[in-house]
Amino acid sequence: MGGHSHWKGIKEKKGAADKRRGKLFAKLLRAIEITARQGDPNPANNPTLADAVQRAKDASVPKDNIERALARGAGETGEGEAWSTVFYEGYGAGGVALLIEALTNNRNRTSQDLKAIFRRAEGNLAEPGAVQWQFERKGVIFVPRDGADEDAVMTVALEADAEDVIDTGDGWDVVTSPAAYEGVKTALEDAGISLASAEVTQRAQNSVPVDGADARAVLRLIEALEDHDDVQAVYANFDIPDSVMAEAG
């Protein structure tokens, strides 16, 4: 799954266009508002809402915007459109498995839209359960090689209850349980260790190597899926050479 982490990092380094960044912020804030409306509006008492808030923070959504979204959610009665989180599953070129997390008020519409996106990108939407078993919910914190010493990363991470520290070549993926994620992230930051990215994600248990035309098709598919208004996140199990990802980024 390191390849997918690197793809995310490459996109962040290049800097998203204002339109794409604004669209991402809107998606994240909508997730906060709807989750707060449907349950306890206090993130401390609502793990799903806390996760939505953390995603927004990790994406650098301004604090004031997050607080306004929470206030809007808390002020609603819970009536009106029925929004729900739905996972869609599929395969891209080269047999790459994809898990798509969507927030939708019309499952049929979202399903048809995603089916069309997959078809245009040489992939196909699969039945529920086809690929989700290949993913585990984990915290993943990427430390670039020039951001710290390996011994320091290992020592701090494992003492803070990280599950694993994986050498990715250009850095380390610090893997945690969702519950330990915040503590490990804070411990690394407090130790002065530079973090390139950090998130609670669906981590693939195994990766599929792809290159050339298949790799480019997979990256186009992921970008098209991420651009859909209902899609909150896309997880994949590809392993694509950095050079190919840099070209597409």
- The kind and range of the H/E element at 175 are strand 171-176
The distance of Cα 8 from the centroid of its chain, to the nearest Å, equals 9
**118-154 pLDDT, tens digit each:** 999 889 999 999 999 999 999 999 999 887 889 999 9
The model carries a pTM of 0.78
**Measured CA distances, 131 to 57, 97, 222 (Å):** 29, 6, 16
Superfamily of domain 84-133+207-248: YebC, transcriptional regulation domain (3.30.70.980)
151 CB contacts (<8 Å, ≥6 apart)? Answer: none
Q: What is the pLDDT of residues 19-63, one digit of tens each?
A: 567 788 888 898 898 888 887 888 888 888 888 888 888 888 889
Give the number of other CB atoms < 10 A from CB of residue 62. Answer: 12
Count of CB atoms situated within 10 Å of the CB of 88: 26
pLDDT reading at 235 higher than 90: yes
pLDDT given at position 14: 45
| Second CATH level (architecture) for the domain 135-204 | 2-Layer Sandwich (3.30)
Domain residue extents for the chain: 2-75, 84-133+207-248, 135-204
Note the pLDDT of residue 3.
45
Percent of the chain past pLDDT 90, that is, above it, reads 43
What is 2-75's CATH number, 3.40.50.2300, 1.10.10.200, 3.40.50.300, 1.10.357.10?
1.10.10.200
Nearest to 204 by CA among 237, 231, 229, 230: 237
What rounded mean pLDDT belongs to the chain?
85
Confidence of residue 93 (pLDDT cuts 50, 70, 90): very high
The Cβ-side half-sphere exposure at 67, using a 13 Å CA radius, reads 3
Q: What span, in angstroms and rounded, lies between the C-alpha atoms of 225 and 21? A: 15
Continuous segment of H or E residues that includes residue 197: strand 197-204
Please tell me the predicted confidence (pLDDT) of residue 243.
74
Q: Comparing 2-75 with 135-204, is the CATH topology the same?
A: no
Render pLDDT for 185-194 as a digit per residue (tens, 0 to 9): 999 999 999 9
- Which pair of tokens denotes residue 14? 């290049």
* The pLDDT of residue 13: 45
Total Cβ atoms within 10 A of residue 63: 9
Q: How confident is the model at residue 81 (pLDDT cuts 50, 70, 90)?
A: low
pLDDT for the residue 225? 94
